[in-house]
Amino acid sequence: MKELVLIIEDNPENMYLMRYLLENHSYEVEGVITGPEGIEKAERIVPDLILLDIQLPGMDGYEVARQLRQNPVTKTIPIIAVTSYAMIGDREQALEAGANAYMEKPINPDTFVADIEKIMENIIK
The CATH number of 4-124 is: 3.40.50.2300
Over the stretch 39-73, which tens digit does the pLDDT of each residue have? 999 999 999 999 999 999 889 999 999 999 999 99
Q: Which pLDDT value is given to residue 125? A: 66
Q: Is the pLDDT of residue 85 over 80?
A: no
Q: Which helix (H) or strand (E) holds 4?
A: strand 4-8
The Cα 27–Cα 103 span in angstroms is: 19
113 — pLDDT class (breaks 50, 70, 90): very high
CB atoms within 10 A of CB 1: 5
Alpha helices, H only, 26-77: 35-45, 61-70
Q: Which pLDDT value is given to residue 64? A: 98
The Cα 4–Cα 7 span in angstroms is: 10
Q: Which pLDDT value is given to residue 1? A: 63
Q: Which helix (H) or strand (E) holds 7?
A: strand 4-8
Which residues contact residue 121 at a Cβ distance below 8 angstroms, ignoring those fewer than 6 apart?
none
More confident residue, 122 or 79: 79
Q: Show me where the domains of the chain are located.
A: 4-124
What is the widest separation between alpha-carbon atoms in the chain?
39
